[in-house]
Amino acid sequence: MLKDKVKQLAETWHQEVVSIRRHLHMHPELSFEEVHTGRYVQHLLNEAGIPCTGGWAGHGVVGVIEGNHPDRAVIALRADMDALPIQEENDVPYRSQHDGVMHACGHDVHTASLIGAARILHELRQHFDGTIKLVFQPGEERMPGGASIMIEEGVLDDPSPRSIIGQHVYPLLPAGTVGFRAGKMMASSDEIELHIKGRGGHGAVPQFTIDPIAISAQIISGLQQLVSRISDPTIPSVLTFGHIVSDGGTYNVIPAGVRLKGTFRTFSEYWRFQAHDRIREIATGIAASFGATCDVKITVGYPFLVNDDALTARCEEAARAFLGAEHVREIPLRLTSEDFAFYTHRTHGCFYRLGVANEERGIVSPVHTPTFDIDDQALLTGPALMAWLALSELSDGSHS
């Protein structure tokens, strides 16, 4: 059966996929700086005989695998390639060789898995009808997101995929398992910058100042009402400020200004932009009530990610048939965000989670931490399942 061939090929190339992931992990590159990574991906695809083009959104790569009757249907598979500005703390032979840069979100896993899936699908190209488009995307971690740029450049055109599938590491699941969720899955994400301008002075005579630090505290408290009292409680939302810096000031000096940076996330496009207006009104209103001003800048980021119900149901069923029902889980809604969301607002999308944890070996660190790592079993499951999902979508079901 074709299922067995996919598993056999995944086993055959498992160590090579592990080596590819470790090479990428040792040589991480930040968003939109993936020069080496893009060239490496192109080299691997060319070596496998898979046609590809580079330069997408800077350093992205798109490969194409044609089966029988290439025009019958097109399916896209996506992986992101960029790393994060984090100093790695893992003591492993493949730790990052670039100070302050680390694949702490598993994009090295995604890229290596898609290379492995591509090798499997290229080998089995006589067993499916249609075309598989391989999307290796830069810049997922940085706005405006490599996905939005690649879409503008035509990645979803000529040929146009009827659906796109992506996966993401998930340390809350053990390696060898995967997680699915139909419908809304991840939140939109916007960046908020506030600059409160008051009047500085001596800390012992606050009556002669307009204290922007005290005002910033009032603004932060006031803006929390946006989520707790203004928003519809049936629409998940979160407003977080993670950066507060004064324009000067010290123990006994009140500064003239304070700068805040935060994020607003939700699952409704209508409420999202309503909230932007309310953030401006509340922040400027509170500042004005104390005699200060507040400049508000909101950068619109990624939309919410929505998995197509029918496609996700088919992928979950295919995963159960391939991995066994005990290795497929339902996952909860999360207010993290992903620029894969841009694809899901343009075509049918399915974004699922790849388990990477191994509690016995202590591999349990969350993503975006300096100790994040994976169990290599995930690099057997990742390529094999992604290849199988593509084959399942292009098949008539006769090989299942």
Closest to 260 in 3D by CA, of 272, 242, 277, 286:
242
Q: Which of 82, 141, 308, 376 is catalytic?
A: 82
Catalytic-residue membership of 157: no
171: its two tokens: 């340390």
What is the spatial distance between Cα 166 and Cα 83, in angstroms, rounded to a whole number? 17
Name the strands in the sheet holding 257-266, side by side, starting at the edge strand that comes first in the sequence.
237-246, 257-266, 189-197, 293-302
CB 335 within 8 A of CB 184: no
CA–CA gap between residue 392 and residue 400 (Å, rounded): 8
Cα 52 to Cα 141: distance, rounded to the nearest angstrom: 24
Contacts for 346-349 with beta carbons within 8 Å, 24 or more apart? 346/151, 346/156, 347/76, 347/156, 347/160, 347/161, 347/162, 347/163, 347/164, 348/162, 348/163, 348/164, 348/308, 348/310, 348/311, 349/163, 349/164, 349/165, 349/166, 349/305, 349/306, 349/307, 349/308, 349/311
Instruction: Identify the active-site residue in 66, 80, 108, 140.
Output: 140
Give the pairing type, strands 74-80 and 131-137. Answer: parallel
Q: What CA–CA distance (Å, rounded) separates 246 from 89?
A: 31
All residues at 6 or more sequence positions from 32 whose CB lies less than 8 Å from its CB, including other chains: 57, 58, 59, 82, 138, 139, 142, 146
Q: Can 191 be counted among the known catalytic residues? A: no
CB 385 within 8 A of CB 321: no
What token pair was written down for 20? 């590819």
Beta bridge mates, 264: 190, 239
Angle at 366 between CA 364 and CA 368, to 5 degrees: 145
Catalytic residues: 82, 140
